[in-house]
Amino acid sequence: MSDRNPKAFLHAHTGYLKWGSRKLGRKLGIPAEEALELQRLVKDELKGSNDSTSVNTSGYEYAPDEIDLDPNNNNLTYEEFLSSRGIDKKDVVSVKHWQTMKGFPRYSVVQRTDLTGGIDIEQSFINHLREYVVPAVVPPGPEKTTDRVGIINLFDAHIDKIAIPAEVYGTKGLTLQESFDLLEEKFDEALEAIAHYNPKKVYFPIGSDFWTTNGPNQGTRRGTPQRTQGAHEEAFEMGVNFYRRCVDKLAQITDKVILISLKGNHDEDPVFYLGLLMKVVYENSDRVEVHSTRHQRKYFQDGIWGFGFGHGDKAKRKLDRLPLFFAQEAPQLWAASQMREMFFGDLHHTKEYKFQRARDGVGVYVYFLRSTNEADLWHSDEGWIGIPKSIYAFIYDVNEGRKKNITISW
């Protein structure tokens, strides 16, 4: 793209305005942050106004030029930026810098971690939340003609686990940031697929072994040691940012996003904290609804359809009883629905690992879905290899017995 003007290119090829900023940045050969601002600028020019095309689903108001920094500090030098964030220059490990389309400087720094526990986690997380930018998505054009709801499942990401090419055939050995970028790119593909059907509501489970460990001790809730990349606190911050971006994108193509926190057997506590954070972030939003209770299974109903969600580590031992659980734990929903489906993540410690499975129960169809993570050393040693990583999306007509299944595999 070096031989083209990115702005002129987008004006001539408006379809690229629907792409995610990271993917577009790679296409144009520019940083993702610059690609995001360029998308906004071109959309504004195409609309003939200065209104932002992104939808602020967090419930907080901001002007388009005030998202990254205070408008009075747009021209901060690198030293002034560090001072404004309370960062000591000697603690900076690496720095990324770029310019906005208006020529304003932007910086992103990584601070070192020492043996005493690292950086000021509380202040780092506060800064992280303050600097978040709502991603822009071009909403679909056609009006809704039927009542449809969607579901997007990305179970068992284990986003921070280590997979080393020298130990596992075929693994890419992605860094933590690369793993997040790849997962968001695949999520964007699923988002684009369901946006075509204009769902009035989208159910989006979060958690369910998204992280590999339950905390800084590098182990699961039961204490099983795990190998992970970086500090748990860093992976948690990046995970919160990832989910916020996904939710804010979803909220731009549907009227309501239903967030469902599902505790996993690896990351039960982080998922609980994630649910609490999401409730605070979206407490003023009329487009996002957060369900963060600690129930093992959660149930919802739309029209003739009833839906159940769980992690799956316990469900595999109770397959024949799952319909009874549904009827007992959600009796009114059971009675009000005519067709029912339940969704569970995959089970990493059994022969069912990563295989897509389904089971018909009395009144309930049960899915066990593939995970989105790469095979690591344990899975390679055990022979659980060669299965595609997958994100699943479903579209339902709430008043008819019809649905569409969408699978994004890589």
DSSP 8-state class, residue 193 = H
Mean pLDDT, residues 40-45 = 81
245-279: burial string, b at 16+ Cβ within 10 Å, e else? bbbbbbbbbbebbbbbbbbbbbbbebbbebbebbb
232-250 vs 176-195: helix crossing angle, rounded to 10: 20
- Kindly tell me if the per-residue pLDDT of 362 is higher than 80: no
- Distance separating alpha carbons of residues 85 and 166, to the nearest angstrom: 40
Question: What pLDDT, on the 0 to 100 scale, is given for residue 383?
Answer: 65
pLDDT above 80 for 385: no
Nearest to 389 by CA among 401, 402, 376: 376
Q: What is the spatial order of strands in the sheet that 339-344 belongs to?
A: 297-302, 305-310, 339-344, 364-368, 357-361
Least confident of 115-129, 153-167, 319-333: 115-129
Give CA separation, 141 vs 18, 80, 199, 200, in Å: 12, 44, 13, 14
pLDDT band at 62 (very low <50, low <70, confident <90, very high): very low
Report residue 46 as tokens.
């195409």
First to last CA, the chain: 26
Report the chain's C-alpha Rg in angstroms: 22
- Using DSSP's 3-state secondary structure scheme, residue 297 falls into strand
Helices (H) and strands (E) in the chain — how many of each?
A: 11, 13
- pLDDT for position 92: 78
pLDDT given for residue 2 in this prediction: 47
Residue 211 in contact with residue 159, Cβ under 8 Å? yes
pLDDT band, very low/low/confident/very high, at 349 (cuts 50, 70, 90): very low
Please answer whether residues 140 and 195 qualify as being in contact, where contact means their C-beta atoms are separated by less than 8 angstroms.
yes
Least confident of 2-11, 125-134, 222-231, 348-357: 348-357
- Could you list the beta-strand ranges (E) of 41-147: 92-99, 105-111
Residue 404, both tokens = 């569409």
Calculate mean pLDDT across residues 221-234: 88
What's the rounded Cα separation, in Å, for the pair 359 and 307?
Answer: 15
178 membership: H or E segment, kind and range: helix 176-195
Any bridge partners for residue 393, and if so which? 152, 406
Report the C-alpha gap between 224 and 372 in whole angstroms: 21
Is 80 exceeded by the pLDDT of residue 108?
Answer: no
pLDDT at 84: 78
Confidence category of residue 356, pLDDT binned at 50, 70, 90: very low
Closest CA to 96 of 84, 108, 104: 108
Looking at residues 191-198, what average pLDDT do you find?
A: 94
pLDDT > 90: percent of the chain: 41
d(C-alpha 389, C-alpha 189), whole Å: 14
Percent residues over pLDDT 70 in the chain: 78
pLDDT of residue 59: 40
The mean pLDDT of 373-380, rounded to a whole number, is 72
SS3 260: strand
Judged against a pLDDT cut of 80, whether residue 183 lies above it is answered with yes
- pLDDT tens-digit readout, 301-314: 999 999 999 997 77
Say how far apart CA 409 and CA 401 lie, in whole Å: 26
pLDDT band at 275, cuts 50/70/90?
very high
Beta-bridge partner residues of 367: 343, 358
- Look at residue 40 and tell me whether its pLDDT is greater than 50: yes
User: How is residue 138 written in tokens?
Assistant: 């071009």
pLDDT for residue 239 = 96
CA-to-CA dists, residue 313 to 77, 244, 282, 308, 395, angstroms: 51, 26, 29, 15, 26
| Mean predicted lDDT score pLDDT of the chain | 81
- pTM for this structure? 0.69
Highest mean pLDDT among 104-108, 170-174, 247-251: 247-251
Question: What 3-state DSSP class applies to 165?
Answer: coil
Q: Reduced to 3 states, what is the DSSP secondary structure of residue 322?
A: helix
- Which token pair is 45? 């020019």
Res 378: pLDDT: 66
User: Binning pLDDT at 50, 70 and 90, where does residue 52 land?
Assistant: very low
pLDDT at 140 over 60: no
Q: Of 396, 361, 367, 400, which Cα lies nearest the Cα of 203?
A: 396
Q: Which two tokens stand for residue 120?
A: 């000021």
The predicted structure's pLDDT at residue 269: 94
Q: How confident is the model at residue 6 (pLDDT cuts 50, 70, 90)?
A: confident
Q: What is the pLDDT of residue 272?
A: 95
| Average pLDDT rounded to a whole number, residues 82-111 | 73
> Band of the pLDDT at 376, cuts 50, 70, 90?
confident
Parallel/antiparallel/unpaired status of strands 364-368 and 256-262: unpaired
Q: Is a pLDDT exceeding 50 seen at residue 137?
A: yes
Give residue 185's pLDDT.
95
pLDDT for res 388:
82
DSSP helix/strand/coil, 145:
coil
Which letter does DSSP use for residue 90 in this model?
A: G
Q: What is the pLDDT of residue 278?
A: 97
Q: Is the pLDDT of residue 142 over 60?
A: no
Task: Write the DSSP assignment of 281-294 as a string of letters.
Answer: HTTT-SSEEEE---
Across 5-14, 155-164, 314-323, 377-386, which has the greatest mean pLDDT?
Answer: 155-164
Q: Which carries the bigger pLDDT value, residue 71 or residue 15?
A: 15
